[in-house]
Amino acid sequence: MIETPDQSVSAQESPPTPGVDRPSPRRPPVLTLIAASSAVLFLSLTRPLFMGRVFVYNDLSWFHLPMRYLYQRALVSGDTLLWTPAILSGFYLLGEGQIGLFHPLHLLLYALLPLWLAFNLEMLATAPAAFAGTYWFLRRLGFGVEAALFGAMLFAFAGFNLLHFHHINMVAVVAHLPWLLATADMLIVEDSPRRRAIAFAGLALTLASAILLGFPQGVWWNSLALTAFSIFRAGETGRWRTLLTCAAAFGVGVLLGGVQLLPSVDAALHSQRNGIPREFALTYSMHPSNLIQLWSPYFFEQGAFTNTDFLWLHELGIYSGAILPVALIWVWMRRRALRERRRLITAATVFAALTLVLALGSYGRLDVLLTYLPVLGSLRAPVRYIVLTQFALMVLAAILIEDLVAIAERRSAPTTGTMTALWIPAGLSAATTFMLAARLARPYTNHIAASVPTTMIGLAFVTVVTVLVFRAGRGSRGALAALVLVTMADLGMWGVRFIYREKPKTITSLIQGVLPAPGEPADSYAAATADGPYRSDLLVMRGYRLTTGYVGLYPASRYPLEGDIAGRLSGTRWRFTLDGRRYPEKDSVARIRLLTEDGRDATGQANLAVDRPGHLVAHVEAPERRILALTERFHPGWSATSDGRPVPTVPVEGDFLGCIVDAGVHRVEFEFMPRSFVYGVLMSAAGAVALVAGFVAIRRRRA
């Protein structure tokens, strides 16, 4: 890589234009174009909102919408938010976490608004949150308005965020990342006790907000980036002691999130993921072939490549605009001129490289080491580390725009020479397209690679972006303005087009044609065939209580959850088949029954007077000591009383709820109140006290 003498001239040392102190030509409306482009990308996601519809792709209709339906019903009816009988014969809803049950925004949305509107607003909130946080973060690092806005657009509409749009809580947690970094920077750099106290509270509350959204893997990514940035910033400013304050704020944030954190741990310990082999954590490792996406995003017929896992593009798609690889090369070619950004360039590049290796998973070996750590060994899909790579490269792209704006305003000298290295991505893209056309790209030419015309779309974007950066580096204001528009189109074609691969629908249309469940809860238990149209959780929106279901943390069980024995013991009354039709299920046990202590059917009478989520009341008449058995799934969080006196709960057949009742007539009451929730509430309360104490202590400290 060769630099011309002009490239080593800093912005402060650039020669002035003879007779001119400030640029005389009119500055192009770059700021306006960035704002308008960001608005266009955001508005492209709002179509369902104005049509009274919702996005339904993948987990949105399989899991998130039905779960939020149950959540809203519980809020409106006053039932517990902790447990639902509508999934898997009973499920620790708070432990699953992905609804964000106690997040203030979710409580507000789903308590006050119709389901379709609350669902849309929850999804749409992440983009402006990520945009505003990134803008503030970059402004704190001294970036100009144009560069900060451009970086905000790149991250808010990054490939990862758009491709994972149906993983609502995942993207929402990721949107907290720039806010965490900005508050950490404020805590490290600021001298004012008042501002540092605000930063302390801001970091703790932001982390707590992320934890309350119930996606621990995303919190881990954010924590990794926060740790790296805090060390970098403390080293850059020489304020190493401030890391202790950052660590204290982090600890307070963890305490505040305890109401979600401890139930999540509880659910994980009682789930099928407890004790799974380490190989599970390495599923969806990024095959190195996917690096082709960085310069040829449309090379693969299905958008990505894998030879071990099911090919989900949202998992294996790593592209986030041609601007990222071009920016990486630009800032290193211009590092002498970018004197004030050298440390940031190095840090961002190293972080991008490390997280890219982590994304390779089993192919990069680094993530293999992490699978030996507690918790991390149960988090799959190393390829998701790519979000941190994209964030780091976004910072480099912001430096690129900052430099190009300085050149356009004649605060920095234009580049000269051919800048050969800058053309590497375009050259690789051209070579890849040529090899495909000449059928030299084996083994990718057989049902893996896309057609040549499709591949050329990526070639066009990479080439045009490179040309525009090159021309803007020569001082062309028009090229800089065009670069913004091309980047918007690039992000939109890759991400927004993916989002609309399945058209939004009304909630009514999702469940039309499904017979409503019978009115009595005991008669509403149903199972869905694994490969049928209702294999997910949609049936709960027609009043069914599913003995099957689709969740993230499947509870550990003695019998396979979709097997015949589990179906019989869970009281399944209906089965939905491959064609979506409903058929009655025979030989299932009653919702409530009496058993002998060795598990056989016994004489006596038992009926449910109250059958609500997390609250069951039974009237029992037993001729002698019996086991009162229900089809509700067992969890240690259930407690029971008989005529007001505590009685022990027991697992029936290892999986279902029961208790011992003595001979006679009794009123037996079951209540779901797990210790993990109680301790979580206490933990959050302690966090609130620590937050106030920390804020006051820092506020009173002398600068």
Task: Catalogue all structural domains in the chain, each as residue range(s) with its CATH number.
Answer: 592-672 (2.60.40)
Q: How many residues does the chain have?
A: 703
Residue 251, phi then psi, degrees to nearest 5: -60, -40
- Whether the Cβ atoms of residue 696 and residue 193 lie closer than 8 Å to each other: no
Band (pLDDT 50/70/90 cuts) for residue 318 is very high
- What gap in Å lies between CA 488 and CA 495, rounded to an integer? 11
pLDDT in tens, 172-223: 999 999 999 999 999 999 999 999 999 999 999 999 999 999 999 999 999 9
pLDDT band at 375 (very low <50, low <70, confident <90, very high): confident
b/e for 361-370, b at 16 or more Cβ within 10 A? Answer: bbbbebbbeb
* Contact between residue 358 and residue 366 where contact means Cβ atoms under 8 Å apart: yes
**ω into 443 cis (within 30 of 0):** yes
What is the enclosing helix (H) or strand (E) of 605? Answer: strand 605-612
Calpha distance 440→420 (Å, rounded)? 26
Q: Sorting pLDDT into bands at 50, 70 and 90, what band is 13?
A: very low
SS3 content of the chain, % helix, strand, coil (to 5): 55, 10, 35
Residues above pLDDT 90, as percent of the chain: 84
DSSP 8-state symbol, 530: T
Rounded Cα distance between 475 and 577, Å, is 65
Predicted pLDDT of residue 367:
81
Helices (H), 164-293: 168-174, 177-189, 193-212, 216-237, 242-256, 258-269
506-565 pLDDT per residue, tens:
999 998 888 999 999 999 999 987 666 666 899 999 999 999 999 999 999 999 998 999
Interhelix angle for 452-473 vs 424-437, to 10°? 160
Helix runs in 409-451, H state only: 424-437
Give the contacts of 553 (CB within 8 A, at least 6 positions apart).
95, 96, 267, 268, 271, 272, 273
Gap between the Cα atoms of 252 and 686, Å rounded: 9
H or E segment to which residue 313 belongs: helix 313-316
Which residues make beta-bridge pairs with 660? 627
Per-residue pLDDT reduced to its tens digit, 15-28: 443 333 444 444 55
pLDDT category at 280 given cuts 50, 70, 90 is confident
Separation of alpha carbons 451 and 444, rounded Å: 11
481-507 residue pLDDT tens: 999 999 999 999 999 999 999 999 999
User: In whole angstroms, what is the distance from residue 110 CA to residue 652 CA?
Assistant: 36
Distance CA 308, CA 361 (A): 13
pLDDT confidence of residue 557: 93
Residue 287's pLDDT is: 95
Amino acid at 230: S
Contact predicate 487/321, CB 8 Å? yes
Contact predicate 293/425, CB 8 Å: no
Q: What is the pLDDT of residues 354-371, one digit of tens each?
A: 999 999 999 998 888 888
Quick one: pLDDT at residue 127?
Answer: 98
pTM: 0.93
Strand pairing of 638-642 and 626-633? Answer: unpaired
pLDDT at 231 over 60: yes
- Rounded mean pLDDT of the chain? 92
Distance CA 552, CA 170 (A): 13
pLDDT band at 447 (very low <50, low <70, confident <90, very high): low
pLDDT tens for each residue of 668-686? 999 999 999 999 999 999 9
Quick one: tokens of 286? 């990024």
Tens digit of pLDDT for each residue in 403-416?
A: 999 999 999 999 99
Distance CA 238, CA 341 (A): 17
- What are the tens digits of pLDDT across the range 117-172? 999 999 999 999 999 999 999 999 999 999 999 999 999 999 999 999 999 999 99
Tell me the pLDDT tens digit for each residue of 107-118: 999 999 999 999
The confidence score (pLDDT) of residue 421 equals 96
Q: If residue 612 lies in a helix (H) or strand (E), which one and from where to where? A: strand 605-612
Cβ contacts of 626 within 8 Å, gap of 6 or more: 594, 595, 596, 597, 602, 604, 620, 660, 661, 663
Q: For residue 10, is pLDDT > 80?
A: no
Residue-by-residue DSSP string for 153-191:
HHHHT-HHHHHTTTSHHHHHHHTTHHHHHHHHHHHHH--
What residues contact residue 195 under an 8 Å CB cut-off, 6+ apart? 186
Rg (CA), the chain: 29
pLDDT in tens, 566-617: 999 999 999 998 777 899 998 899 999 999 988 899 999 999 999 999 999 9
Residue 442 has pLDDT above 70, yes or no: no
Cβ within 8 Å of residue 319, ≥6 positions away: 159, 293, 294, 297, 494
